[in-house]
Amino acid sequence: MMSKIPAPPKPKKLLLHEKAAYDPYLEALIGSDDEEEVPAFDVAARTKKLAEVNERANTLAQKLEQSEEARKKAESDAIQARAEADKAKTDAAGVEDLKKKLHDAETSLSEHIAARSAREEAIIKRLRSQNRRFVSKTSQEFELEDPDNDPLLDALSFLEFHGIEAREGIDQAKASLSPTFPEERGTRNFPCSCQVL
């Protein structure tokens, strides 16, 4: 009869904390039986995936480049907008300065017009006074046929009429007095002074 030989005991699975008690070479042999097998890589799938990743990286690089160009353009536009705003501020300051100068000029013009009006009134007053003197001396008062409706010009026109009348009167007086008072050395000595006129 044959006797049965007991089978050698199966090696025990080691837990992680128990591994330290065994030889590393033995551990590698034992551990290799318990590990799962890693499936072989599919090269075509990995290549396709790599191409997709490269394409995505290229797209992102293009978008980054476009974004950088857009940022530079935005900075350039911002600098130009700041320059335009500064120019507008300068122009606005210039406009304010021009407004002030215009106001000063208008004020000066108003003052000049007021002074001119006052001067014209004084001249009119003097001309009318002279006209009244002529009327009192000659007893002739004139009326304008076609007045200018400008007090200064109308008063001057009256004075011209009186001046013409005075010159004609002086010429007539000279003509009538010249036979009585002959010339002496180129001058005529008339007894009356014409300053009264």
**Average of per-residue pLDDT across 176-194:** 61
Torsion, CA 107, CA 111, CA 116, CA 121, rounded to 10 = 130
User: Hey, which of 6-10, 37-41, 43-47, 97-101 has the most confident mean pLDDT?
Assistant: 97-101
- pLDDT, tens digit, for every residue of 104-151? 999 999 999 999 999 988 888 888 888 888 788 777 777 777 777 788
pLDDT above 90 coverage of the chain, percent: 20
Give me 160's structure tokens: 């011209």
**What gap in Å lies between CA 30 and CA 12, rounded to an integer?**
9
- Give residue 38's pLDDT band: very low, low, confident or very high (50, 70, 90): very low
Work out the number of other CB atoms within 10 angstroms of the CB of residue 158.
20
The DSSP bridge partners found for residue 184 are 187
Determine the pLDDT at residue 197.
45
Per-residue DSSP letter, 173: H
- Residue 60 identity (one-letter amino acid): L
- Kindly list the domain boundaries of the chain, sorted by start residue: 44-177
**What gap in Å lies between CA 143 and CA 158, rounded to an integer?**
8
Q: Are 154 and 144 spatial neighbours (Cβ–Cβ below 8 Å)?
A: yes
- Give the chain's mean pLDDT: 77
Distances (CA, A) of 10 to 5, 13, 30, 36, 44: 15, 9, 11, 20, 42
Q: Any idea what the Cα angle at residue 163 is, between residues 160 and 168, rounded to 5°?
A: 130
**What gap in Å lies between CA 10 and CA 16, rounded to an integer?**
18
| Helices within the chain (DSSP H only) | 24-34, 43-138, 151-177
Higher pLDDT, residue 111 or 194: 111
Sign of the dihedral defined by the CA atoms of residues 18, 23, 26, 27, in that order = positive
Q: pTM to 2 decimals?
A: 0.41
